[in-house]
Structure 1
């Protein structure tokens, strides 16, 4: 495709060089530049793409997009813009021929619930006969190909490339998680959404956004995109959430809005909610009538996830019987209150809960189902929002019988300092209710050794992750694998003793 076509709708501040160049691809990584590529100099957290512009040209870049004046080789066309990230998103959408316009695109944003809701939406699309892709925290799915996710929402170039691949593999839809970082960094600019879902907003990522208000504004950007392109777009919003109600008020009559909830008189409402160890039952009331829903997932918070997915399915015109069938056959999402089978009379779950609200939800759920003691193992990530650490400790004190505080992903912070900040959430004189064990493997093993028949062990914070990040190294680590190895060794010891 010619460079002139790619930047046709880009508000360039200056252009030096020919626009008649053939562009073979778009990248923001100078190490991956191929001859004929358009290189976009993007400023990141730790590095600045402007430092590598000449390297990109040496590797064959035909053109470069940047925000700064620079003296460059005449071998490449220079395009100066105000916002390189937005330019990259729009250019990628054009280069890949607007692939989102050929897909039913459902975007899910919010602090908690994005992953499970996205998996539910994908199941509903496929129950309706629409082959669907997935972009989210756990994995990316393109046709039959599953790719481990590097981040919740990829960069704009990857998004458009994967959408294009989805079309080529016969996909007609995609469910995608849309993070606040992605919205703030224009990664989904150019994506034409059919439905945008708002799950909830609670404290997280304030290390990046600075305040809950800025965090909310980042999330709200998704809904400002609805109707801006070819599709009309519909908003699906949790009316039980304070920020959800604010969002509904802001959208007003300018957008088609579907609300959902349990406590509020929403468009889609859940009634008669019952949670058991086998799953969750509720009755859903819609404008088309009421229907019973049986979810094989446990937890009242999964009712909200299901309501969001139901609302999206109905907004897309999918028959309710197909929606009901899709939800009834859902499998637990990896690392989302994922049970680890045991034969020793106690239960073990691995969960991704890493915010105060998420930890409260999952502890409340397992607390209802636990006959004995509830033991929780968790920590908080380093180089992330410090304001949620003590509140998470407080929640563990309130809802668990015993807590073992341990390392999550410390990154560049001192693990012991993180743990001290989490422990500050426990009231004075409650040392007997918690223990600090920095080594995560040792902490998990201690919890399993403590467990007796009727108890529940919840290992929270990392969920599906298969690594642990330290200052200068990332090492393999899998909560579930640690549990399975321990249980396997226990079984072998039991057999020898017998």
Structure 2
């Protein structure tokens, strides 16, 4: 997704607009015929995505260097190549005799985002969407959906960049990464600008920050949800994970910040943020600028009051289950206030359109009401704990039946913790496969099972623990065991429609499998238009 019209510029013109802190890019070889310099109309780091007029940036990879694909990039229409010292040694012979200029920079990754921002003119002053960025372990997706729903309720056209989809007005494409690579991000932002999008929300993962996918992007408001154990396979420790998230709250990345401070990490983010910051609490933190109070359950959701620093009060409703979704809704509301919207304007929009009841695919998504059958993306210990607590109902004899697993080739340490969490908070624990990737599925299940059994036996818990695979069979078993007053929660994969096993993508949608199992066992699933696919 790129803008339809890009003003062609020479490489010299593009380089002249780079931030002053970047070192000078060096020309290694230029056009051999002495002709006019080529025009640049795009940027890419993937030779398979090159379009005519692109600057191809050849980056070092884990297996091969991007410079190895210089020939393919030029054949596809690249008009200039930028790489590092190692890449020059490969790219220069490949460009011998051509008119394609070769440039050198180090470290070359530093230049990708800024160059894409300049070429695509993605965020010019005065004519760009209000841009929200949301980071944290849990709640990013739901908060971005709440943001776009609230902005739509305010009458603005919206865009979205996230785990589930990329949306530019009415144009929607599925996402592959939570946050795309930086040339794609800037291309999408430029397309939003071109199409007159007035407000956009982006999920900003720790991977995106660590891998420089949001370089050159400047948010109007950045929001923080929480920080819990996840992605330690990448970051190594919680401190390093925190540092990656905290990097979003610097003046070079955002104008303002809104931070949930109900965990210690949020309080640290707020204390260390280098920009104007508003804080939000659902648990009554006295130091918070905005506090949530009067939470009342209504159906599966809640109503609540949001009280501000000048005693402003917003009475809001969130139709999604769980007090963590109240937190997500409160965060979204304060982020929109921080962008400049008045509180009474926001109240009128919320009253008229109920934006915090928007359906988020695979996030606390209701598939049936009796039994309550829910699909959620909870895939780490904290998210699983909060989700299990939120779905339990007070009716006598009601049980919680949970189906979940753990992802292969990811943080191994969280597997037994998730098993123990399920054993403590569910009545029936069905452990199955998530996405094994290239790891042995049985060994993953064994890690989760061990945690569940140790907790059950050591803490004298009464839950039933069952191992069932493949995943579709586990979902069927859960429904077969369910009574009308029970809750069936299928956790871990949410909106995903493929399960990766040994390099093969197998079709698997928890929502479809759960609906089919309900029908097989004589229950009624909600109508198909309530299930996103």
Normalised TM-score (structure 2): 0.86
Residue in structure 1 matched with residue 4 of structure 2 by the alignment: none
Question: Is 1:447 matched with 2:478?
Answer: yes
SS at match of 2:151: helix
User: CA separation in 1, counterparts of 2:224 and 2:107?
Assistant: 27
SS at match of 2:262: coil
Verify the 8 A CA contact 1:201 1:216 in the aligned structure 2. yes
Q: 1:79 aligns with which of 99, 103, 114?
A: 103
1:479 deviation in Å? 0.5
SS at match of 1:395: helix
Residue in structure 2 matched with residue 338 of structure 1 by the alignment: 365
User: CA separation in 2, counterparts of 1:357 and 1:285?
Assistant: 27
Matches for 1:6-405 after TM superposition, within 5 Å: 6-8=14-16, 9=18, 10-12=22-24, 14-18=26-30, 20-44=37-61, 47-67=64-84, 68=86, 69-71=88-90, 72=92, 73-74=95-96, 75=98, 76-99=100-123, 101=125, 102-224=128-250, 226=251, 228=252, 233-251=255-273, 254-263=274-283, 264-265=285-286, 266-288=288-310, 289-324=312-347, 325-326=349-350, 328-329=354-355, 330-341=357-368, 345-368=370-393, 371=396, 372-405=398-431
SS at match of 1:271: strand
1:58 deviation in Å? 4.0
User: CA separation in 1, counterparts of 2:63 and 2:267?
Assistant: 36
1:34 deviation in Å? 3.2
SS at match of 1:15: strand
Change in CA separation of 1:219 and 1:169 when aligned onto 2, cut-off 3 Å: same
Q: How large is the Cα RMSD of the aligned pairs?
A: 2.1
Change in CA separation of 1:16 and 1:48 when aligned onto 2, cut-off 3 Å: closer
Verify the 8 A CA contact 1:335 1:352 in the aligned structure 2. yes
SS at match of 2:423: helix
User: CA separation in 1, counterparts of 2:172 and 2:484?
Assistant: 37
Q: Which runs of 5+ in 1 are unaligned?
A: 494-498
1:13 deviation in Å? 5.3
Change in CA separation of 1:223 and 1:379 when aligned onto 2, cut-off 3 Å: same
Q: Which runs of 5+ in 2 are unaligned?
A: 1-8, 32-36, 525-533
Verify the 8 A CA contact 2:427 2:462 in the aligned structure 1. no
Verify the 8 A CA contact 1:279 1:297 in the aligned structure 2. yes
Verify the 8 A CA contact 2:401 2:426 in the aligned structure 1. yes
Change in CA separation of 1:308 and 1:91 when aligned onto 2, cut-off 3 Å: same
Verify the 8 A CA contact 2:67 2:83 in the aligned structure 1. yes
Write the deviation string for residues 393-428 of structure 1: whole angstroms up to 9, x where unpaired: 111011000110111110010001111111121244
Verify the 8 A CA contact 1:12 1:82 in the aligned structure 2. no
User: CA separation in 1, counterparts of 2:63 and 2:263?
Assistant: 35
1:190 deviation in Å? 1.1
Residue in structure 1 matched with residue 498 of structure 2 by the alignment: 467
Write the deviation string for residues 325-351 of structure 1: whole angstroms up to 9, x where unpaired: 437243221111110025xx3110000
User: CA separation in 2, counterparts of 1:58 and 1:170?
Assistant: 34
SS at match of 2:43: strand
User: CA separation in 1, counterparts of 2:76 and 2:301?
Assistant: 55
User: CA separation in 2, counterparts of 1:274 and 1:168?
Assistant: 43
SS at match of 1:194: strand
Residue in structure 2 matched with residue 479 of structure 1 by the alignment: 510
User: CA separation in 1, counterparts of 2:378 and 2:367?
Assistant: 16
1:432 deviation in Å? 6.4
**Farther off after superposition, 363-372 or 346-355:** 363-372
Verify the 8 A CA contact 2:426 2:463 in the aligned structure 1. no
1:246 deviation in Å? 1.1
Change in CA separation of 1:492 and 1:362 when aligned onto 2, cut-off 3 Å: closer
Q: 1:4 aligns with which of 9, 12, 21?
A: 12
User: CA separation in 2, counterparts of 1:95 and 1:79?
Assistant: 16
User: CA separation in 2, counterparts of 1:49 and 1:382?
Assistant: 28
Change in CA separation of 1:284 and 1:492 when aligned onto 2, cut-off 3 Å: closer
Residue in structure 1 matched with residue 527 of structure 2 by the alignment: none
User: CA separation in 1, counterparts of 2:362 and 2:29?
Assistant: 51
1:278 deviation in Å? 3.4
Change in CA separation of 1:321 and 1:120 when aligned onto 2, cut-off 3 Å: farther
1:320 deviation in Å? 2.4
User: CA separation in 2, counterparts of 1:243 and 1:442?
Assistant: 39
User: CA separation in 1, counterparts of 2:513 and 2:374?
Assistant: 12
SS at match of 2:294: strand
